[in-house]
């Protein structure tokens, strides 16, 4: 089969994403309450309809919009919600509403009487504990210390009221959309959203040690005589929290008409889901001896919960961090949870990026969580639009209406065992109402077009770098017979830093799926660089990568080589020596950023505890052909190889040792070293890409200026660049093996073969043209009107000077061939793989198809 045929087959598998909406549905006028459409299948695992972007859209909301609780008022709110989001729901097969009623204590407190009032989330700020510091005006106390009511005299809501709200949302939603509507309940382990006498007065024994005051899912309860729905005779001493919570959840969801339960804020995964530290890592040393016991306790919770609540699906937030970070510090057994048959859905991307701008953590964490999935290969994308508790609406204030947290997470590509891209099945919004219970129309109106555009252009092939994520290996390193949690800990935190430094990692495949997919499609990874920690000696992954390398594949290793085979070490021209650590001097020939004020330091601070050991590599032998030492580190008496590359046949192999350029404090995340004092080692990863022909350079005014994040995805034979500029003073310089990328809709200055861009805060641009020319010039690529029957699109390149242009056309099942013109004169072109090549072009080049 030819490559073009393979590409066409991949498109047809993705027609559900690439096609525009099919049969339109009529949006009702204000006051109407239904759509005239046929219902679609209810199952979230059902095949997608042709026009769908998602199997399901989840509208998360608090109860604050329900300021009155009579039936007419509840229905009016429900109608407003589904009318607001109608254009997006048109592109989904189903809808869910997830209710943030309180913090889940309404489930714990449920006694079976629908007339009982609920302590619901009617607050602004932290609800527990409600303590005002002495001699302080309560009105001046921060909302993180004391909650306020969101309105005067908020309504009383009973379990019966909640039951009516759930039923109304289903009835109105189904009538208005013609699609199945489900409703989810929520449980949060923390103290934030509503008063919880159960957690913070009667049963403090379930709280994990520390300042967060979070529920430990593995705790046991003390005895209590109070009657509960699942325990009418009270709670016996020593009852597992999973048992109690499971039985209460089964009764609560059944009685009130809910369809699933959401575990929030890492609940069910770890007791320390927000911190770099944990029971296996105290900030200065690792303690792997505790891993087995923690794993047993966490899986015990899931088993106990499922024994009591067998019939409702579990969806979850998961951790804010990454798989390797949680394994290394907290022994979070993600593989056991995914593969345990617990009828659960993998977590989405963390909303933490919206809080502190750490998109490297969001992207690397998301990739690590979806590399392997529970049965069904379903995972969500979640967008942080409003916050119903903390007086912020990220779309409007934290993001300033910029769509970077849409386009970057939706630029990802997760590959399954057959080598197919797995798109997100669910789209979730945290939340559709703000802290005052308002439902601003501007949010769906502004956000929806960005999301649908991203899904219509969703990846259908690997991007520039494919992260082979050692999901199974990392679990074995923590729970196996020779535990070594330092390796997954370092690997994931280092990759977080590298993505924040502009390493364009958008594609992930687990080792298991990589080994399977390369057999199904041996050509799948030919146009991507395979990126992975150094594989273990004798492993199937090592054998596969060495075989691929011999066939022309590009392979990029990072991390310690202490567990590498002799064969791989010799291929890297390395051998082990005594390790060096601490403050080192770096010498590097790798591409580096341009700093207008100041210079990058040459000192490196290597912490062996955080970086999977010391740096212990020296040259195996001198004078090896096609081999280059790209960086070394040294003390006064010793020098060690830090980065190297060599040509192997028609392939290229590269390796960067890496070091975590961060230190551990009492903050939740590792804190970056001072860039004025120590070299940020993660820059070496982006610098090494130049050895593969990909130059992504940054010019920034100062060392403290944050670097742009760049992701490059592939869709319909095009390249789609998505980025985030923490500082719009930074300038981006790009050159690929095909030439300088010309981003559609922008002007660029072509300088020494590089396209130079000054980009806005958030950006996503199509790229189908690459230019090589010796002369400097201003070049642009813009869309032109078709103006000709049979022509669908035209692109105009301007400013060319004796240029070679490589054009990547869209893949079409039929239609006229691409036409290239210069001043209305036809330009001949040749074909190289997926692209068309025109040479010696001056002035303009018009491409029509």
What is the distance between the alpha carbons of residues 382 and 384, in angstroms, rounded to a whole number?
Answer: 7
Determine the Cα–Cα distance for residues 113 and 245; give it in Å rounded to an integer.
17
Nearest by Cα to 693 from 591, 768, 781? 591
Residues 6+ apart with CB under 8 A from 363: 349, 408, 409, 412, 499, 505, 506, 709, 711
Name the 3-class secondary structure at 397. Answer: coil
Residues 739 and 34 sit within 8 Å (Cβ to Cβ): no
Q: How far is CA 766 from CA 16, 458, 505, 741, 744, in A?
A: 20, 12, 17, 10, 5
Of residues 215, 63, 191, the one with CA closest to residue 125? 191
The band of 47, judged by pLDDT with boundaries at 50, 70 and 90, is: very low
In this predicted structure, the answer to whether residue 403 has a pLDDT above a threshold of 60 is yes
d(CA 494, CA 658): 7
Task: Using the predicted structure, report yes or no on whether residue 19 has a pLDDT greater than 90.
Answer: no
Handedness of CA 296, 382, 492, 705 (dihedral sign): negative
Q: Which one has a higher pLDDT value, 468 or 137?
A: 468
> Is 648:639 a contact under the CB 8 Å cutoff?
no
Q: How far apart are CA 503 and CA 498, in angstroms?
A: 6
pLDDT given at position 662: 96
What confidence tier does 37 reach under pLDDT thresholds 50, 70, 90? very low
CA atoms within 13 A on the CB side of 73: 10
**What is the torsional sign of CA 366, 414, 710, 450?**
negative
pLDDT tens digit sequence for 587-620? 999 999 999 999 999 999 999 999 999 999 999 9
Task: Give pLDDT, residue 43.
Answer: 36
Q: Give CA 433 to chain center in angstroms.
A: 23
Strands 123-124 and 582-588 turn out to be unpaired
Per-residue confidence (pLDDT) for residue 51, from 0 to 100: 78
pLDDT of residue 14: 30
Would you state the structure tokens that stand for residue 192, as one six-digit string? 């934030």
pLDDT in tens, 59-110: 999 999 999 999 999 999 999 999 999 999 999 999 999 999 999 999 999 9
Residue 16 pLDDT greater than 70, yes or no: no
- Percentage of the chain with pLDDT > 70? 94
Q: Identify the helix (H) or strand (E) that includes residue 604.
A: strand 603-606
Report residue 684: phi and psi, to 5°: -65, -30
Least confident of 140-149, 276-285, 501-510, 546-555: 140-149
Block residue for tokens 């934030």: 192
Is residue 822 packed enough to be buried (19+ CB in 10 Å), middle (13-18) or exposed (0-12)? middle
Digit-coded pLDDT (tens) for 364-391: 999 999 999 999 999 999 999 999 999 9
Could you report the per-residue pLDDT of 517-551, keeping only the tens digit for each? 999 999 999 999 999 999 999 999 999 999 999 99
Share of the chain above pLDDT 90, in %: 88
Task: Give the up-direction half-sphere exposure of residue 517: CA atoms within 13 A in the CB hemisphere.
Answer: 22
Query: Which SS3 state, helix, strand or coil, does residue 445 take?
Result: helix
Q: Nearest 5°: CA angle at 339, between 333 and 340? A: 85
Cα(first)–Cα(last) distance of the chain, in Å? 25
Spatial distance between the Cα atoms of 238 and 241, rounded to a whole number of angstroms: 9
Cα separations in angstroms, 812 against 10, 162, 716, 849: 12, 51, 9, 10
Report the pLDDT value the prediction gives residue 144, as an integer from 0 to 100: 83
Q: How high is the pLDDT of residue 36?
A: 28
Please give the Cα distance from 520 to 524 (Å, whole number): 9
* Beta-carbon contacts of residue 472 (< 8 Å; ≥ 6 apart): 335, 372, 510, 511, 512
Token look-up 């919206």 returns 354
Task: Report which of 318, 322, 374, 386 is spatially closest to residue 348, judged by C-alpha positions.
Answer: 318
Question: Rounded to 5 degrees, what are φ and ψ at 173?
Answer: -60, -45
pLDDT tens by residue, 223-240? 999 999 999 999 999 999
CA angle 848, 712, 463 (to 5 degrees): 95
pLDDT of residue 369: 98
Q: Token digits for 279?
A: 């029971």
In order, the DSSP letters of 528-549 are: SEEEEEPPPTT-HHHHHHHHHH
Least confident piece of the model among 126-135, 262-271, 735-744:
126-135
Note whether 753 and 719 are within 8 A (CB): no
- Taking residue 26's Cβ as centre, other Cβ atoms within 10 Å add up to 12
Window from 84-88, 127-131, 184-188 with minimum mean pLDDT: 127-131
pLDDT of 10 over the 50 cut? no
Closest by alpha carbon to 82, among 164, 175, 163? 175
User: In 10 A of CB 342, how many CB atoms?
Assistant: 18
CA distance linking residue 830 with residue 839, whole number of Å? 9
DSSP string, 85-144: THHHHTTBS-EEEEEE-SSSHHHHH--S-TTSBP----EES--SS--PPTTS-GGGS-TT
**pLDDT value at position 279?**
95
Paired residues of 817 in beta bridges: none
Beta bridge partner(s), residue 646 = 627, 653
Other Cβ atoms less than 10 A from the Cβ of 671: the count is 13
CA distance 558 to 340: 31
State the residue for tokens 């022994």: 331
Quickly list DSSP for 343-395: -B------THHHHH--HHHHHHHHHHHHSS-STT---EEEEE--BTTTTB-TT
The arithmetic mean of pLDDT across residues 392-399, rounded, is: 96
Quick check: 3 pLDDT over 80?
no
Between CA 412 and CA 508 the distance in angstroms is 8
Q: Nearest Cα to 511, choosing from 488, 486, 494?
A: 488
Per-residue DSSP letter, 224: B
User: What is the full DSSP assignment across 631-660?
Assistant: EEEE-SS-EEEEEEEEEETTEEEEEE----
Residue 469's Cβ-count burial label (10 Å; 0-12, 13-18, 19+) is buried
Helix (H) or strand (E) holding 801: strand 794-807
User: Are 469 and 367 spatial neighbours (Cβ–Cβ below 8 Å)?
Assistant: yes
Question: For residue 500, what are its two tokens?
Answer: 């924040």
Model pLDDT, residue 209: 85
Q: What is the mean pLDDT of the chain?
A: 92
| pLDDT of res. 133 | 67
Chain center to CA of 152: 39
Q: How far apart are CA 380 and CA 671, in angstroms?
A: 29
Q: What mean pLDDT is predicted for residues 126-134?
A: 78
648-668: per-residue pLDDT in tens? 988 999 999 999 999 999 999
689: which DSSP letter?
Answer: G
Give CA–CA dist 721/710, Å, rounded: 7
Confirm whether pTM is higher than 0.85.
yes
Count other Cβ atoms within 10 Å, centred on residue 599. Answer: 9
Report the helix count and the strand count for the chain, using DSSP H and E. 21, 41
Could you report the per-residue pLDDT of 67-80, keeping only the tens digit for each?
Answer: 999 999 999 999 99
pLDDT at 230: 98
Q: What tokens does 579 get?
A: 């390790």
Domains of the chain and CATH, by start: 3-456 (3.20.20), 465-690 (3.40.50.880), 718-724+738-749+765-848 (2.60.40)
């Amino acid at each position: 089969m030819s490559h073009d045929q393979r590409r066409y087959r991949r498109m047809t598998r993705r027609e559900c994403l690439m096609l525009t909406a099919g049969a339109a549905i009529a949006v009702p006028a204000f006051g109407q309450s239904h759509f005239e459409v046929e219902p679609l299948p209810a199952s979230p695992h059902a095949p997608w309809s042709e026009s769908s972007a998602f199997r399901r859209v989840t509208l998360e909301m608090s109860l604050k919009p329900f300021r009155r609780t009579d039936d007419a008022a509840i229905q009016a709110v429900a109608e407003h919600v589904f009318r607001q989001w109608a254009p997006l729901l048109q592109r989904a097969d189903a809808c869910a509403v997830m209710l943030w009623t309180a913090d889940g204590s309404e489930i714990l407190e449920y006694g079976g009487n629908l007339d009982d009032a609920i302590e619901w989330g009617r607050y602004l700020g932290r609800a527990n504990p409600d303590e005002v510091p002495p001699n302080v005006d309560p009105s001046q106390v921060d909302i993180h210390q004391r909650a306020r009511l969101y309105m005067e005299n908020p309504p009383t809501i009973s379990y019966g009221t909640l039951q009516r709200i759930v039923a109304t949302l289903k009835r109105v939603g189904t009538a208005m959309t013609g699609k199945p509507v489900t409703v989810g309940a929520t449980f949060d382990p923390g103290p934030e959203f509503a008063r919880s006498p159960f957690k913070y007065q009667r049963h403090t024994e379930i709280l994990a040690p520390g300042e967060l005051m979070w529920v430990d899912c593995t705790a046991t309860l003390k005895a209590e005589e109070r009657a509960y729905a699942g325990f009418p005779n009270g709670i016996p001493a020593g009852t597992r929290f999973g048992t109690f919570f499971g039985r209460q959840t089964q009764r609560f969801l059944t009685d009130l008409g809910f369809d699933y339960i959401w575990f929030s804020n890492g609940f069910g995964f770890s007791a320390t889901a927000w911190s770099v530290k944990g029971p296996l890592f105290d900030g200065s040393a690792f303690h792997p001896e505790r891993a087995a016991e923690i794993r047993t306790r966490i899986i015990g919770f899931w088993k106990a919960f499922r024994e009591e609540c067998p019939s409702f699906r579990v969806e979850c937030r998961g951790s804010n961090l990454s798989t390797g970070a949680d394994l290394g510090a907290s022994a979070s057994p993600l593989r056991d949870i995914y593969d345990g048959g617990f009828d659960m859905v993998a977590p989405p991307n963390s909303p933490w990026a919206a809080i502190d701008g750490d998109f490297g953590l969001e992207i690397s964490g998301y990739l690590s969580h979806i590399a392997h999935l529970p049965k069904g290969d379903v995972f969500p994308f979640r967008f942080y639009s409003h916050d119903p508790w903390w007086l912020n609406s990220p779309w409007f204030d934290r993001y300033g209406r910029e769509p970077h947290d849409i386009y970057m997470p939706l630029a990802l590509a997760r590959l399954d065992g057959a080598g197919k891209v797995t798109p997100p099945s669910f789209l979730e919004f945290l939340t559709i109402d703000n802290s005052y219970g308002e439902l601003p129309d501007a949010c769906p109106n502004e956000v929806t077009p960005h999301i649908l555009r991203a899904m219509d252009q969703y990846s259908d092939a690997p991007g520039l770098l494919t992260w082979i994520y050692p999901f199974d290996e990392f679990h074995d390193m923590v729970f196996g017979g020779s535990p070594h949690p330092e390796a997954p800990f370092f690997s994931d935190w280092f990759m977080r830093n590298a993505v924040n430094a502009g390493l364009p990692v958008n594609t992930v495949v687990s080792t298991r799926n990589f080994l399977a997919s390369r057999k199904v499609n041996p050509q799948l990874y030919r146009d991507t660089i395979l990126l992975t920690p150094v594989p273990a000696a004798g492993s199937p992954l090592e054998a596969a990568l060495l075989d691929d390398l011999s066939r022309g594949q590009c392979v990029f290793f990072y991390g310690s080589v202490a567990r590498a085979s002799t064969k791989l070490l010799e291929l890297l021209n390395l051998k082990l020596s005594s390790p060096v650590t601490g403050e080192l001097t770096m010498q590097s020939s790798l591409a580096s950023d341009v700093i207008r004020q100041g210079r990058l330091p040459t000192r490196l601070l290597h912490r062996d505890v955080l970086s999977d050991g010391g740096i212990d590599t020296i040259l195996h032998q001198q004078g090896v052909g096609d081999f280059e030492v790209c960086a070394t580190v040294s003390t006064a008496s010793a020098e060690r190889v830090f980065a190297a590359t060599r040509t192997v046949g028609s392939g290229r192999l590269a390796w960067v040792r890496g070091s975590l350029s961060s230190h551990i404090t009492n903050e939740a995340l590792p804190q970056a070293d001072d860039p004025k004092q120590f070299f940020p080692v993660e820059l070496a990863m982006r610098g090494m890409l130049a050895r593969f022909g990909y130059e992504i350079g940054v010019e920034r005014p100062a060392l403290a200026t944050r670097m742009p994040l760049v992701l490059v995805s592939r869709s319909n034979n095009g390249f789609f660049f998505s980025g985030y500029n923490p500082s719009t003073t930074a300038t981006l310089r790009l050159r690929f093996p095909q030439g300088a990328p010309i981003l559609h809709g922008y002007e660029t200055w072509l300088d020494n073969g590089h396209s130079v861009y000054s980009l806005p805060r958030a950006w996503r641009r199509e790229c189908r043209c690459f230019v090589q020319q010796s002369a400097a010039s201003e070049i642009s690529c813009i869309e032109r009107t078709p103006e000709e029957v049979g022509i669908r699109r035209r692109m105009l390149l301007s400013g060319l000077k004796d240029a070679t242009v490589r054009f990547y056309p869209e893949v079409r099942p039929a239609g006229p061939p691409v036409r290239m013109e210069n001043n209305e004169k036809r330009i001949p072109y040749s074909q190289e793989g997926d692209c068309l090549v025109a040479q010696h072009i001056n002035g303009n080049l018009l491409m029509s198809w």
